[in-house]
Amino acid sequence: MDKDKRLTTAFGIPVDDDQNSRTAGPRGPVLMEDVHLLEKLAHFDRERIPERVVHAKGAGAHGYFEVTADVTKYTCADFLSQVGKRTEVFVRFSTVGGEKGSPDAARDPRGFAVKFYTAEGNYDFVGNNTPVFFIRDPLKFPDFIHTQKRHPATNLPDPDMFWDFLSLTPESIHQVTILFSDRGTPATYRHMNGYSSHTFQWYNAEGQTFWVQYHFKTDQGIRNMTREEAQAMCAKDPDHATRDLYEAIAAGDPPSWTLEMQILTPEQARDFKWDIFDITKVWPHSEVPPVTVGRLVLDRKPVNYFAEVEQSAFCPGSLVPGIAPSPDKMLQARLFSYHDTHIHRLGPNHHLIPVNAARNATGASYQRDGMMRVDDNGAGGPNYWPNSFGGPAPDAGYRRPPVKVSGQADRHAFSHPNDDFEQAGMLYRRVMSDADRANLVGNIVDHLSGAQPRLQRRQTALFYKADPDYGIRVARGLGLDPADVEKLAAMSPEERAAATAS
Ligand code: NDP
């Protein structure tokens, strides 16, 4: 038999029979000496790794990013240093709240994560298909996610939990308005945009700094499903977006996105109307016109889903020279939380898994040992710094520009004078078409009608505050009294909570 075709144990020992266990006589019992059977069962018993708490259901593909415009005056990032320069990427798209087997067509934000294998290490862009988020303080994140998941007693998605939290969290109104528009059910992963949502810092070779936001705009065009189409798709093909991505690439139709950046100098940022570190707000395009930077193309399918997609791990803290975090509180917490979850899910050496490993740079740290250390573990080289045995040394040339911070250490609430309803109102009044508004109201009524009436009233008051027409239409759809909603909208958050406490 051809040696390469021979079945072996995990350790390469030839297997003679993979259909009949070793037994004492033809009717059993099974013998402990069948180590091939024991190995096969023991490995099978451990096939599942911890499911991601969020973004559990996803699909991915390989490709490249190509620079199409000179941005060296804004950043010294090596992979952005030259027009025409290409960098290998791996991208993972996902839903957020559902489990690993949940439908791709669920109403949910979509994750949009890109790993750039640059010559100065791996750069992870970990965005969503929405430019804003529900909350802006990380202390609220675990609570928020609990409300989007299953009820502790019934183990069912629970409209009361969902709307109770959101109606007590007015800063969520902008994201709720996007989520309940038809952008909450994108037709496929190929037909949606990807946004950094957070502000990041770029700095150039002279140390000048800029505040930036990323927008990956789909070249396939935006396409969404209506509520009815999405519900039908959940039943017909729960994996439709995973299938669509795989099949488009297999058919030689690689999807692409154009990267546009919004860029502010620190001087512009100082006088900017919106708090640029508040993830619930966008930077209006008329005030900060986007600059085209490059193109992302996905042209290679994964060969093995588990190896490449399930084990891929992205961290907003994986930033290459030329790119730095901003003080955005949500981003600051994500810098910790993603790495922490990967250590839990994949282990301390997840950076050695091929999809996560640096490809075009050489990793050279003093981290050693740990579960699944599968390279030479630093061989006989020094495992401490400083050393005088030729170990890798820090390079002060890569120092980031300093960032000025000040203030009293305290639990500070957001205190920017701009209200949380204006941008949701702009979206409703100015950006949406009549059909978009009708679908938005219908989608909200369909979902919110499952919650208790007091929660319906409290949430509808928030829609009213974004735009009276918006609130009144939702109120009518739910059979609520518009005058009552208007009264609730005029109250302070505390008064509104008290008026709808039971
Ligand atoms: P613009 O008219 O310049 O841009 C409107 C943006 O809204 C476009 O990027 C468009 O995306 C996007 N959009 C259209 N329909 C929806 C929807 N149902 N949900 C979410 N986004 C949608 O407006 P401004 O920049 O002045 O912002 C006005 C409002 O537009 C904001 O309050 C915000 O809600 C929304 N928006 C703004 C973005 C920004 O970065 N400025 C980004 C995304 C949304 P596309 O061109 O891809 O169709």
In angstroms, the CA 280 to CA 327 distance is 14
- pLDDT on residue 415: 84
Tell me, what's the pLDDT at 497?
A: 97
CATH of domain 135-168+421-502: 1.20.1370.60
pTM (predicted TM-score): 0.97
pLDDT tens-digit series, residues 305-334 = 999 999 999 999 999 999 999 999 999 999
CB-ligand 1 contact for 436 (6 Å cutoff) = yes
User: Cβ(423) to ligand 1 under 6 A?
Assistant: yes
Residue 418's pLDDT is 73
Tell me what pLDDT residue 4 has: 85
Q: Which atom of ligand 1 is nearest to the CA of 284?
A: 25
Nearest CA to ligand 1 atom 48: 222
For residue 385, the model assigns a pLDDT of: 97
Q: State the pLDDT at residue 3.
A: 85
Span 1-47: which CATH code?
A: 4.10.91.20
> Are residues 165 and 149 in contact, defined by beta-carbon separation less than 8 angstroms?
no
Q: 174 an active-site residue?
A: no
Q: Which residue numbers in the chain have pLDDT < 50?
A: none
| Amino acid 177: pLDDT | 98
Yes or no: say if 477 and 442 are a contact pair by the CB < 8 Å rule: yes
Q: Torsion angle of alpha carbons 260, 266, 271, 274, nearest 10°?
A: 40
Q: What is the pLDDT of residue 213?
A: 98
The CATH 2.40.180.10 portion of the chain extends over: 58-132+186-345
Identify the helix (H) or strand (E) that includes residue 121.
strand 121-128
Q: Based on C-alpha coordinates, what's the Rg of the chain? A: 26
User: Where in the sequence of the chain do the CATH 1.20.1370.60 domains occur?
Assistant: 135-168+421-502
Tell which one of 431, 437, 443, 467 to mutate to probe ligand 1, the residue whose CB is within 8 A of the most ligand atoms: 431
Residue nearest to atom 12 of ligand 1 (CA): 431
Return the residue whose CA atom lies nearest to atom 8 of ligand 1. Answer: 431
Start and end residues for every CATH 4.10.91.20 domain found in the chain? 1-47
Which class in CATH covers the domain with range 58-132+186-345?
A: mainly beta
Q: Angle 434-448/453-466 helices, nearest 10 degrees?
A: 160
- Closest residue by Cα to atom 35, ligand 1, is 427
| The predicted structure's pLDDT at residue 392 | 97
Ligand 1 pocket, 433 CB below 6 A? no
**E-only strand ranges, 209-359:** 209-218, 256-264, 291-300, 323-325
